[in-house]
A = this chain, B = another copy of it.
């Protein structure tokens, strides 16, 4: 195999792509081509005919701006065509600006730095779990990253957990070039990488010359037999062979024509863009096809259950988060590939699966992951696990949803069916104060495209939510009260799929409608009942999932929320989501300030969101 000829060809293809698109990142393509080549040629075990083969080795390009390099490699592999490369960064192409999971051979979408490292930890967790159940699954997870990835907090969180879990089939290929966007990394990043990773139970290997593919190859071989996760620090030169090599000038803008001409000249390649020796390509594909052997056939995972039909031992007087824990435990009894954990709050979020054991280095068949206080990594690790076809959940308090927002966005972008469980869902948690009281979080989540946000009113709706969650192929957020909620007479698990429904009919001529969610539905019903004494007839609409409601046809919507009515929106959260349903902001019964520390009663009264205040407000407005 003419290794360096192919490496040079990959470099030049990347440059051609970037130049053709008039944007992209040539620096890493010129610097790191030998790394990706060595990995694909000698190590990555994939199926050229089935890029979704469940036991394939995973490859995550954490520094997603190196997309051109990955695509050039995938062209050599045979997953992409030359035409794909020519459409780099064009709309609806297979080669977008940052790698997207929809592209053949791309195991996960990347772009925001650090996410990929945590995704890889999730893939390595999935492998250990599969392997504990079936030794035929035994893939490696490789992740290539740059300095920027290692500066991100999420990478520390994820690698610390990986060390603790001893994920020895996880290998980081660290493209260490001492340069990031704003200059030399030493202006802000002066870590002893060896020491940093040894401090968290990793194996560290250094390759002092990132051009030498034999050294890279040896390092990967050693990493594969290590009994710990391994980081291989490979010293490279950003923008190698460009006139600006070794500087940040070559990071993120296309090279000049003259520079490209000189590079190609130096590398002894045609100056015509995309002018490729296809014999070399076919030779590589033939070689790869022979090296990669699909060892075992493993059947696809496809588990489905009707959650509402399962048998539970529930006490509806318990807090919804407690009931949810019991439901999850029952679901877990019926779903093998269902796992997850909490960010050190499982004793509060109640998502622990009692009979399933803890996932750790002594027991990889455990389904409970102790994430520690690492919310951000938890989200991104969940994406990695979900990308390997495991139904995966993670939990923390709703106000800390902020910490994992970037990871939730990636779940949504990739349509990975991760379930985020957020408890302690409103100011009524009381005395922990404003930092722990969510206000704007519900709106933040509802505004993420592709994410369904569920806030059930009682146990029946909660069961319905789980039915939807387990059916959907997109991510969900399940938002739960810390407190007990009323068990409603007319709530219905099968109405959850409609997103909203009439949970209490008006007694007589319709005077007004209250839309409510979660614990506020019970409050709305009680108010509606009392108002009947004043001859005010209120319909209560429970809206456990706004996005699902919006998908209904107009006829259904009109039957639930007839327009030009006195529609109130009652939710202990910010108003912005609710303007669309009310005719005037006077009908919004929400909170748009931060909360306070106090008892539940004190707080609800202070914000005029207690039973009496809300009731009187509605009476006043309808008079």
- Known: A399-B112, A447-B440. Is A599-B90 also a contact (CB below 8 A)? yes
A498 contacts partner chain B, Cβ-Cβ < 8 Å: no
A325 part of interface (Cβ distance < 8 Å): no
- Report the stretch among A44-52, A194-202, A235-243 that lies at the interface: A194-202
For residue A304, CB closer than 8 A to chain B, the reply is no
Contact indicator A164/B182 (Cβ below 8 Å) = no
With A98-B435, A98-B597 already in contact, the answer to whether A576 and B447 are too (CB < 8 A) is yes
| Distance in Å: Cβ of A111 to nearest Cβ of chain B | 3
Of the candidates A93, A161, A372, A599, the one having the most CB atoms from chain B within 10 angstroms of its own CB is A372
| A439 interfacial by beta-carbon distance below 8 Å | yes
A576 touches B435 (CB 8 A): no
Q: Does A154 contact B (CB under 8 A)?
A: yes
Per the bound structure, the CA–CA distance linking A188 and B200 in Å amounts to 11
Question: From residue A243, how far is it (CB to closest CB) to chain B in Å?
Answer: 19
Would A182 and B431 be within 8 Å (CB), given that A89-B597, A96-B597, A597-B97 are in contact? no
Q: Is the CB of B91 within 8 A of A603?
A: yes
Which residues from B are CB-within-8-Å of A481?
A: none
Distance between Cα atoms of A579 and B580 in the complex (Å): 5
How far is B362's CA from A187's CA once the two chains are assembled, in angstroms? 11
* Cβ–Cβ contact A598 & B89, under 8 A: yes
A562 proximal to B (CB < 8 A): no
List of B residues within 8 angstroms of A374 by Cβ: 151-153
Task: Say yes or no for A449: interface residue by CB 8 A criterion.
Answer: yes
Which of A338-346, A465-473, A611-619 makes up part of the contact surface? Answer: A338-346
Q: Mark A405-442, 1 if CB is under 8 A from B, else 0.
A: 11001101100000000000000001111111001100
Q: Is the CB of B596 within 8 A of A92?
A: yes
**With the chains together, A92 CA to B446 CA distance in Å?**
31
CB of B606 within 8 A of CB of A432, answer no
Q: Knowing A431-B89, A598-B91, say if A151 contacts B190 (CB, 8 Å).
A: no
A360 within 8 A of B: yes
Q: Does A511 contact B (CB under 8 A)?
A: no
Q: Is A474 an interface residue, CB under 8 A from the partner?
A: no
Rounded to whole Å, the gap between the CB of A117 and the closest CB of chain B is 11
Complex Cα spacing A495 to B157, Å: 46
Instruction: Indicate whether A269 reaches chain B with its CB closer than 8 angstroms.
Output: no
Q: Bound complex: CA of A344 vs CA of B146, how far in Å?
A: 13
- Per-position 1/0 for A491-502, Cβ under 8 A of B: 000000000000
Complex: A100 Cα to B437 Cα, angstroms: 14
Contact check, A153 vs B371: say whether CB atoms are below 8 A apart: no
* A181 at the binding interface (Cβ < 8 Å): yes
Give residues of chain A (589-612) contacting chain B, Cβ–Cβ below 8 Å. Answer: 592-594, 596-599, 602-603, 606
The B-contacting residues of A in range 293-348, CB under 8 angstroms, are: 342, 344-348
Q: Is the CB of A436 within 8 A of B98?
A: yes
Residue A356 is within 8 A (CB to CB) of chain B in the complex: no
Contacts of A400 in B (CB 8 A): 112, 406
Q: Does A258 contact B (CB under 8 A)?
A: no
CB closest chain-B residue, reference A573: B447
What residues of B have a CB within 8 angstroms of the CB of A199 in the complex?
191-196, 199
Asked if residues B403 and A402 are in contact (CB atoms below 8 Å), the reply is no
User: What would 22 A/B residue contacts be, using CB atoms closer than 8 Å?
Assistant: A89-B598, A91-B598, A91-B606, A92-B598, A93-B597, A97-B432, A112-B399, A148-B344, A151-B372, A152-B153, A153-B156, A160-B189, A182-B370, A187-B370, A188-B371, A191-B199, A195-B195, A196-B196, A196-B199, A376-B376, A400-B406, A439-B447
Residues of B within 8 A of A447 (CB): 439-440, 443-444, 574, 576
A164 touches which of B23, B153, B189 (Cβ 8 Å): B189
A463 CB, min distance to chain B CBs, angstroms? 26
Q: Please tell me if A510 contacts chain B, counting CB pairs below 8 Å.
A: no
Given A112-B400, A400-B406, 15 more A-B residue pairs with CB atoms under 8 Å apart are A89-B597, A96-B596, A97-B431, A97-B432, A109-B435, A110-B435, A151-B160, A152-B153, A153-B156, A190-B200, A190-B201, A194-B199, A443-B444, A446-B576, A447-B574
